[in-house]
Amino acid sequence: MSQTITDTNFNFPGQKSVYKGKVREVYNINNDLLVMIATDRLSAFDVVMPKGIPFKGQILNQIATKFMAQTEDIVPNWLIATPDPNVAVGHLCDPFKVEMVIRGYMSGHAAREYKAGKRRLCGIELPEGMKENDKFPEPIITPATKAEMGDHDEDISREDILKRGIVSKEDYLVLEDYTRKLFKRGTEIAASRGLILVDTKYEFGKTKDGKIVLIDEIHTPDSSRYFYSEGYQERQDRGEAQKQLSKEFVRQWLIANNFQGLKGQVVPVMTDEYIETISERYIELYENIMGENFIKADVSNIQERIENNVLAYLS
């Protein structure tokens, strides 16, 4: 097994605080910069799995930072630099407490809700007669409230977001506009690589000067679902499962092993062999999504490598 990074405990110059999310650890430097470390932790059904996945953090960080660069002409983002394969450095932002989920297809959570008989998702009426993985007439935005580590994110409607004052109407309209623009660009980039961007989520924050920017990740296999374009319609017509690129394969394995993050359920044991197959799938995801070979970083001492690279950048 390759070395993984599942927890960090750095003490950088000017460090004010550390926030540990499900996958990323964020260090506040002088209330000015954020150093965000993408760990190899794997989260599914809002539960962090016991073992790390080799190279997962590097994969997520590199996909996210490259897509930030490919979308900064349409939506501003928080990113300043990437001093290490697992690290992004950017502006300190005050995050909005909603995730902007946008769906082009009836898949994943939306499909599970639909199968359960629900025809309304986040205040949006869903058409009758849809099959799993069918395309929506137009992409729909289905926001979720941000959960603390270990808690489930919850669906929420635009009306409830505004009524509860989670986001002001003025800001929320900007978030919706940015979400649609990013999804359109992501769809175009995916199509150029023979992929369909099925659904994704974006997170936004405000800089000190009040500018709304994209933060966290964008179009990664943790935040997005992709199908292969080739054969999509044929598989739909035959009622077959779609060939996809996302961590949905992990969720399906967990479901098959009686785990969906529900109370009383126990995470099934992931063998080293299965962990390696997940790592290989993530590398496959990277190479298909980015259209380039994945180059593994030196993992002989990940903690030391990250610390040295961040210290060199901050100095």
Question: What tokens were used for 23?
Answer: 């996958």
pLDDT tens for 27-71 read: 999 999 999 999 999 998 889 999 999 999 999 999 999 999 999
pLDDT tens for 197-256 read: 999 999 999 999 999 999 999 999 889 999 999 999 999 999 999 988 778 788 889 999
Confidence at residue 150, expressed as pLDDT on a 0 to 100 scale? 47
Q: What is the pTM of this model?
A: 0.89
Domains of the chain: 15-94+273-314 (3.30.200.20), 96-245 (3.30.470.20)
What is the three-class DSSP state of 27? strand
Query: With 60 as the cut, is the pLDDT of residue 21 above it?
Result: yes
206 phi and psi, to 5 degrees? -115, 130
Please spell the DSSP secondary structure of 139-205, one letter per residue: EEE--EEPPPTTSPPEE--HHHHHHTTSS-HHHHHHHHHHHHHHHHHHHHHHHHTTEEEEEEEEEEE
